[in-house]
Amino acid sequence: MRLILLGPPGAGKGTQAQRLISKYRIVHLSTGDMLRAAGAAGTPVGLQAKAKMDRGELVPDDVVVAIIANRIDQPDAKNGFVLDGFPRTVAQAEALDRLLGERSLKLDAVIELAVDEDILLDRIQNRVADMIAHGKTVRSDDNPEVLKGRLAAYRAQTAPLSYYYASKGIRGVVDGMAPVDEVTAAIDRLLAKGRAKGRAKAVKARARKVSPKAKSKAITRPKTKPKARSKPKSKPRSKAASRKTVSRARNKSKDKGGMRKSGHRRRLTKAR
Ligand code: AMP
* Tens of pLDDT, residues 70-90: 999 999 999 999 999 999 999
SS3 state at 176: coil
Question: Is 88 in the active site?
Answer: yes
Tell me what percent of the residues of the chain surpass a pLDDT of 90. Answer: 58
Q: How many CB atoms lie within 10 A of CB 248?
A: 9
SS3 state at 109: strand
For residue 135, give the DSSP letter.
T
Nearest CA among 213, 83, 88 for reference residue 161: 88
* Distance from C-alpha of 148 to C-alpha of 158, rounded to nearest angstrom: 15
* Distance from C-alpha of 214 to C-alpha of 93, rounded to nearest angstrom: 41
Question: Which residue's CA is the closest to the ligand 1 atom numbered 19?
Answer: 86
Please report which residue ranges of the chain form alpha helices under DSSP H: 13-24, 31-41, 44-55, 61-71, 90-102, 117-133, 144-153, 161-166, 180-208, 212-220, 239-256, 258-271
Catalytic residue among 13, 36, 50, 171: 13
Nearest CA among 31, 1, 38 for reference residue 19: 1
Give the tens place of pLDDT for each residue, 15-62: 999 999 999 999 999 999 999 999 999 999 999 999 999 999 999 999
Name 108's Cβ contacts closer than 8 Å, sequence gap at least 6: 1, 2, 3, 80, 170, 191, 194, 198
CA of 31 to the centre of ligand 1 (A): 6
Contact 12, 18 (CB under 8 A): no
Catalytic residue among 2, 36, 50, 150: 150
For residue 272, give the DSSP letter.
-
Nearest CA among 10, 5, 112, 99 for reference residue 61: 99
Q: Which phi and psi (to 5°) does residue 173 adopt?
A: -115, 135
Pocket of ligand 1 (CB under 6 A): 9, 31-32, 35, 52-53, 56-59, 64, 85-86, 88, 92, 141, 150
Question: Is 71 in the active site?
Answer: no
CA of 191 to the centre of ligand 1 (A): 26
Question: Is 195 in the active site?
Answer: no
Give the tens place of pLDDT for each residue, 110-130: 999 999 988 888 888 888 888
Instruction: Residue count of the chain, please give it.
Output: 272
Buried b (16+ CB within 10 A) or exposed e, 125-158: eeebeeeeeeeeeeeebbeeebbeebbebbeebb
Catalytic residue among 36, 50, 88, 171: 88
* Distance from C-alpha of 106 to C-alpha of 120, rounded to nearest angstrom: 32
pTM exceeds 0.85, yes or no: no
Peptide bond into 9 cis (omega under 30): no
Nearest CA among 156, 197, 209 for reference residue 8: 156
Question: Is 127 in the active site?
Answer: yes
CA of 241 to the centre of ligand 1 (A): 100
pLDDT score for 164: 98
Mean pLDDT of all residues in the chain?
83
* Distance from C-alpha of 178 to C-alpha of 186, rounded to nearest angstrom: 10
Question: Is 13 in the active site?
Answer: yes
CA of 49 to the centre of ligand 1 (A): 9
Give the tens place of pLDDT for each residue, 126-141: 888 888 899 988 888 8
CA of 122 to the centre of ligand 1 (A): 20
* Distance from C-alpha of 247 to C-alpha of 179, rounded to nearest angstrom: 95
Q: Give the least confident one: 149-158, 167-176, 212-221, 250-259.
A: 250-259
Catalytic residue among 19, 52, 55, 139: 139
